[in-house]
Amino acid sequence: MIMAGGKGERLMPLTAVRSKPAVPFGGKYRIVDFVLSNFVNSGLSAMYVLVQYKSQSLIEHLRESWRIGGRLRQHFITVVPPQMRSREGWYEGTADAVYQNLNLIEDFGPGLVAVFGADHIYRMDLTHMIDFHLETEADVTVAALPVPVEEASGFGIVEVDRSQRVVGFEEKPKRPKPMPQDPSRAFSSMGNYLFRTDLLIRLLERDASRPGSHDFGRNIIPELIGTHRVFAYDFLRNRVPGVKPHEEPGYWRDVGTLDAYWRANMDLLGERPVFDLRNAEWPILAGTYDGPMASVVRSELDEAMVGQGCRIVEAQVRRSVIGRGVHIEPGALVEDSVILDGVHIGANSRLRRVIADRFSSVPADRDIGSDTGAADGSCHVSPSGLVVIPKEAVAGERARLRQVS
């Protein structure tokens, strides 16, 4: 069960027209492609994707890019909007979303149910987590990532004993409890779970009968501690083929803010990126694009990823991710930026630390970036000074003009 209904309010304006899992990432992907690729690469191809908030963009992407299965009953990726089987209204939490679709689980009849989020950037072989779940005879297994204790107060922290059994859970504690084997780090819940099916059904039926937020992290998991076998799977133990020595071990990012989203895109760049997408043994899958190859004419590119169909003429692109079908005109400079599909950047314009959403444009001779901001109100500026150009917007129509000799 892939939870893909999130609003992603902290990613506005990128989520003004789409849900968080549908936000483009890395030049050719959507955020949801990472969890789906992990399942498919792990040999798990029976997935229900639960959508809700502004879901049309995500539904279209899944329809075009993730058509698997057919006549084989156990191979499918099915989009599930709120069915309102038990009551009227939207999903009221992650647990409620699964509860409203218990008929799908009962009809399929699995021994285990994986409940995973759709809004993180990472690689994971789920078979290792499943093996751990079976070896420990767990009722529930929580995927957890060790984080430095001094940074752990911003996460939901899982307290474990020496056998990795969960003995406590605190949401953003002031004094996080460290891991028994490593006092310098604490276990942060990744929001990904494995459940024994019969237990999951009973838990969700009980939870639905009571008022509350109906959330796995806030309600379901804490109530099981002490009465059921709940274990934490150490994500740093996960091994994925094809990962290179220069990559960060256990790379996982919650791209829930504009700054985190921008930094994760920057992590893809350079000769030795900390998260390298060039992995033929564990590919991140995405949809096809029918445009031509990128065209670069008398331009300077350094630490850049450039998508198909781009046309870059007499321009400079430095440390940036450029999506598909982007046009960059002569004299332009794009630096430390994330440019999504179909953007047009006019001649002699300068962009620094900019996120440009799809099909937006920058007129000629404009300066857009952290040094000039977006004084005309056409853009959004993050707390760190990132400038975000909304989808189909014209940025900087009244911004400072460059002095062109």
65 marked ligand binding residue: no
CB half-sphere exposure, 229, CA atoms < 13 A: 11
Integer Cα distance of 242 and 41 in angstroms: 12
Residue 276 has pLDDT above 90, yes or no: yes
What average pLDDT does the segment 315-326 reach?
98
156 marked ligand binding residue: yes
Q: What are the strands, taking DSSP E only, across 323-403?
A: 327-328, 333-335, 338-339, 344-345, 350-352, 354-356, 361-362, 367-369, 380-381, 387-389
Residue 377 has pLDDT above 80, yes or no: no
Length of the chain: 405
Residue 214 has pLDDT above 50, yes or no: yes
91 marked ligand binding residue: yes
Give the dihedral of Cα atoms 312, 318, 320, 325; nearest 10 deg.
0
What band does 161 get if pLDDT is binned at 50, 70 and 90? Answer: very high
Element (H, E) at 252: strand 252-254
Integer Cα distance of 230 and 133 in angstroms: 9
CA 239 from centroid of its chain's CA atoms: 20
Q: Considering the chain, what is the average pLDDT of its residues?
A: 91
What average pLDDT does the segment 371-395 reach?
82
Report whether 232 contacts 129 (CB < 8 A). no
Residue 375 has pLDDT above 70, yes or no: no
What average pLDDT does the segment 140-160 reach?
91
Radius of gyration of the chain (CA): 22
Question: What is the per-residue pLDDT across 65-100, written as a single tens digit (0 to 9) for each?
Answer: 998 766 667 889 999 988 766 666 677 788 889 999
Provide the whole-model pTM.
0.93
- CA nearest to 277, candidates 285, 334, 323: 285
- Tokens encoding 20: 């968080």
Domains and CATH numbers, the chain: 2-254 (3.90.550.10), 295-389 (2.160.10.10)
20 marked ligand binding residue: no
- What pLDDT, on the 0 to 100 scale, is given for residue 253? 95
**Stretch among 55-59, 283-287, 400-404 having the lowest mean pLDDT:** 400-404
Residue 372 has pLDDT above 60, yes or no: no
Residue 404 has pLDDT above 50, yes or no: no
Q: State the DSSP code for 366.
A: B
What average pLDDT does the segment 380-393 reach?
93
Residue 129 has pLDDT above 50, yes or no: yes
Integer Cα distance of 32 and 254 in angstroms: 12
45 marked ligand binding residue: no
Integer Cα distance of 131 and 13 in angstroms: 40
CA distances to 246, 248, 282, 313, 314 from 268, in Å: 12, 11, 16, 24, 25
- What pLDDT, on the 0 to 100 scale, is given for residue 357? 97
- What pLDDT, on the 0 to 100 scale, is given for residue 405? 35
**Stretch among 35-49, 67-81, 336-350 having the lowest mean pLDDT:** 67-81
Report whether 115 contacts 3 (CB < 8 A). yes
